[in-house]
Chain A
Amino acid sequence: MENSFLIKTKDLVKIYSIGWKKLAALDHVSLNFAKAEFTGVVGPSGSGKTTLLNIIGSLDVPTEGSAEVLGKKVEDLSNRQAAVLRNHSIGFIFQTFNLLPVYTVYENVEFPLLLLGLSADERKQKVIKALEWVDLVDRAKSKPAQLSGGECQRVAIARAVVKKPAIILADEPTANLDAENSHNILRTMEELNRELKTTFIFATHDEKVIRYVRRKITLVDGKVTKDEAMNPTKAEGIGQ
């Protein structure tokens, strides 16, 4: 079981210095995530959710402890190695969508594939497939500014899943969306999780998201206070 975890964190500590003050964003967090998990990390603002996702996503390094993602220790990775890991294996979905404004929907989704150096035919096939997943084929030529918030987030999801990464990290993906769009987005992600066996980890305090996840980890002041299976029938592979 131990070896089947995609992500393993051990005694993860992250301390930020704010002037002379030290703030522990994560305080000895040890968690394991298996393939195809659909997990929500919840907690109040400042509890360390985003910091945990950033370290797992190799965007940040821990102050102490260890984070192993797909067999690679994040703290030991060079900037280039971390970029390669993100490029190949991790998809990100942000609260503010973070689409490239000058690119069309198609080009935004195609972007990670360009970085992977895929051929034009391969890219086209994958982009169309990803746009079909999020039901945005008809908006392929639109620019982000011409889309609604829900559509933008669907583009962001398509961009995250197009390269079929092992892990998708979503930081408050529904925070800027209304209830209907939130449910649509979550349903889409749940389907992708089932179909592609991608591990989804959400940082959220949105109750709508929590209803969808199969595992809920609660962080308070950087500490894991609760780690529970939300739907025992779907909770296979949950670690810890």
Chain B
Amino acid sequence: MIIPRLALKNLLGAGLRTWLNVIVLSFAFVAIIGLQGIYDGMNNQAVHSLTDAEYGGGQYWQENYDPYEPLSLPDAHAPLPEALIGLKNEGLAAPVLIVQGTIYPSGRIQPVLIKGIDPEQSVISIPTHFLAREDVKLPALIGTRMAKNAGLKKGDTITVRWRDAQGTFDAKDVRIVEVMRTTVQSIDLGQIWVPLKKIQELARMPNEASLVVLAKDTEPLKEGAAGWNFKNLEFLLKDITELVQAKTIGGSIMYVILLLLAMLAIFNTQVLSIFRRRKEMGTLMALGFTRPKIIQLFTLEGAMHGVLAALVAALYGTPLLAIFAKKGWAMPESVDSYGFAIGDKLIPTYGAGLIIGTTVLVLIVTTIVSFLPTRKIAKLKPTDALRGRMS
């Protein structure tokens, strides 16, 4: 116990120098946790929004379906296998039929994806119940981005043209029954949602679908579905995960700089300490301290900067980050263009793992930085130390 006690005494005895180091290091603590919490929040929000509104608990893709290959769409449809029909009937799956089409807003030609979905489904959080209106012949649901791009609003009627299963072009007027507000771009931009039955009929693809969304926490079929490939959430969220990771790395630069600054200050303090306190080391040796014990003492002194910084960071960081976590961070509209399904408010997530992980990381780095200059002590002769010389 003598070493921690002496280390703490020495550290507090150094006064302002200690507190400057501690404050800089505490900034690094708060910045790392704060920024990482924002990225974690961003990731969580994006994942939640995407799973809620688009991916559910995973998707079955018709074997020709490839969302990155528009030319594959005309062939990407097939009747649902029995097993998937069973899931659909239990309310655990929502089939979606995707047909390429064109709309003509204000005399312009605009390509769209016509997506047919069951108005009664509750698998994904799209307000498809608006499509159940019986007073409208062909009701359509679009998102706010699509509405803005095409200059459409609720109640508008617009002509939609598509090719059916036989390759014949056909067209009909659809009525926009609702403009939905969603954070997920990929169910909004360039898309029109219509009742599944109608589009199956119009495209001459009865009982067919391009993909089937499973409800959250629904196990995929053990025996599989012939002609359909299951895509789990890991696969479906790969892009967003990679995007967040890329942004996290970019964001890390700032806290790496902060951490480096703090470490430089601690390293500098340690070097200065070892240079200025040789006589003290000599005295400790004369009193019976061994060199490894002195190395432990100086390393611990440096490492305690990390402990004090964690305490100071907790003191002002906890209320600060709690306010952020509660009130969130208003996002400008331009955030839509980042490709994230965030919404107008970002709520940071500060998990125990993040806080403990950051604390451990900072403490380890601080200890290493504190230890490095102390290696000089290993060669220090007691007689030289007592004279204030370095061996």
Contacts and interface: CB of A to CB of B under 8 A. Distances in A.
Interface string A55-90: 001011000000000000000000110011011100
B289 to A, nearest CB: 7
The 6 A-B pairs at the shortest CB distance, nearest first, are namely A87-B288, A102-B13, A98-B283, A59-B382, A92-B286, A83-B290
A173 interface: no
Nearest to A85: B288
Interface string A24-61: 00000000000000000000000000000010010110
Contacts of A102: 9-10, 12-13
B384 to A, nearest CB: 10
Interface string B270-310: 00000000011011011111110000000000000000000
B283 A100 contact: yes
Contacts of A111: 287
Contacts of A98: 279-280, 282-283, 286, 386
A176 interface: no
Nearest to B284: A100
Interface of B: 2, 6, 9-10, 12-13, 279-280, 282-283, 285-291, 381-383, 386
B382 A84 contact: no
B279 A96 contact: yes
Nearest to A102: B13
B288 A114 contact: no
Given A60-B382, A98-B279, A114-B2, A86 B287 contact: yes
A222 interface: no
Contact of A94 (B12, B290, B386): B386
A103 interface: yes
B382 to A, nearest CB: 4
A144 to B, nearest CB: 11
A87 B383 contact: no
Given A54-B383, A79-B290, A79-B291, A100 B285 contact: no
Interface size range on A against B: 20 to 34
Contact of B286 (A86, A88, A96): A86
A59 B284 CA distance: 11
Contacts of B283: 94, 98-100
A115 B285 contact: no
Contacts of A99: 283
Given A94-B386, A98-B282, A111-B287, 6 more contacts: A60-B381, A86-B285, A94-B286, A98-B280, A100-B283, A102-B10
A100 B386 contact: no
Interface in A101-115: 101-103, 107, 111-112, 114-115
A80 B290 contact: yes
Nearest to B277: A101
B77 to A, nearest CB: 79
B84 to A, nearest CB: 74
A112 B383 contact: no
B5 to A, nearest CB: 8
Nearest to B289: A83
Nearest to B2: A114
Given A96-B279, A100-B280, A83 B9 contact: no
